Amino acid sequence: MNERYAQTDELASLACAIEKLESDTVISYGDLLFRSYVLRDLVENKADFSVVVDSSPTDASNRTVRDFAYCSRGDDRGLFGTQVLLKRVVSRADTRPEGTVDGEPQGRWIGMLNVSRQGLVKLKTVLGALRARPDFDALDMPALLNALIAAGAAIEVLYVHGHWRGVNDLEDFRRAVDFAHGQTPFGSAPDTAPTESNT
């Protein structure tokens, strides 16, 4: 329980639970809806750290969009069996990381991080170092991912193309209801991307 929730950002809440984590762990934003295969593929990944990145185009008019992911390679049909690594996550679209070639992200981190038991050792060390910073209360999850990368962690990327939704405002909530009701029961037709209606 983060008793100072109203005064802190995401990492302060994670820090309240970090010492209780002892085995393979998925850390996720609490406002996510996603198709079951997204989580299944993530937990089946054998890397110490892995994340889900959505390579779908982003609607520029959506002001709530965040967590832009810069990766070692973009999403394409030739990726099967090819390792893709996260290079950096930027919280807002207008803050580009240094050293990017074209300045365009390869997608958006959807807010899911898988950490192995071995990876937890590094995660706790890095989070401990971040806690010593005077601005720790203002740090978000992208700050943790970037600190892990700076500490030498290889964070594998699993690409998806839609099939998830975050809920950040009332319009997102309306679309999330449509998304949830559009879920096909297990054993029926395969998952398909949710469709957007202009009506």
Distance of CA 52 to the CA centre of its chain: 6
Contact between 127 and 144 (Cβ < 8 Å): yes
The pLDDT value recorded for residue 194 is 43
The pLDDT value recorded for residue 169 is 61
The pLDDT value recorded for residue 64 is 52
The pLDDT value recorded for residue 170 is 65
- Residue 28: beta bridge partners? 112
The pLDDT value recorded for residue 54 is 93
Of 88, 109, 115, 91, the residue nearest 17 (C-alpha): 115
Q: Which residues of the chain have pLDDT under 50?
A: 60-63, 97, 100-102, 184-199
The pLDDT value recorded for residue 104 is 84
Q: How far apart are CA 183 and CA 185, in angstroms?
A: 6
The pLDDT value recorded for residue 168 is 66
Phi (first) and psi of residue 157, to 5 degrees:
-105, 130
Phi (first) and psi of residue 146, to 5 degrees:
-65, -35
